[in-house]
Amino acid sequence: MAIIKNVKPLSAEKLFDLLKNEFADYINEKLGSNLSIEYAHVYDEINISFPEVIEGAALNITVTDEELTVTLMATNSDYNTNLLEDNLIGFLEVHAG
C-alpha cells in the first residue's frame, strides 16, 4: 500500500478521466509494452485491471481530498505486479503531488 498526498487536488472523477486518457500511454512507454488496461470507478474507489496478464482487479486507488491510497490487489499473480504498482505510483505522483 502506498499513500500519495493529493496536493493538486484530484477528485475521483477527474482522476478516473486522467487514468483513462493518459495512464496506458505512460505505463506502456515505461515498460516498452502494449498492455490492455481496464478501469472501474465507483464513488471514491478506482480499480485498475490488466486483463491480458492478470485475472481480476490488480490495483485499487482510494481517493480522498487529502490523499490517494494505492493498494495492490493481485498478490498471487505470476506477473510482476510490483512493477505495475510502482508505475502507477509514479504516474500519480506526477499528477497529484
Q: Name the DSSP class of 79.
A: S
Tens-place pLDDT, residues 42-68 = 999 999 999 998 988 999 999 999 999
pLDDT band at 6; cut points 50, 70, 90: confident
Contact by Cβ (8 Å): 62, 33? no
Radius of gyration of the chain (CA): 12
Q: Which residues pair with 63 in a beta bridge?
A: 68
The whole-number pLDDT of residue 93 equals 92
The whole-number pLDDT of residue 18 equals 96
Strand order in the sheet with 67-72: 2-5, 67-72, 57-63, 45-49, 38-42
Q: Is 35 exposed, middle or buried (0-12, 13-18, 19+ CB in 10 A)?
A: middle
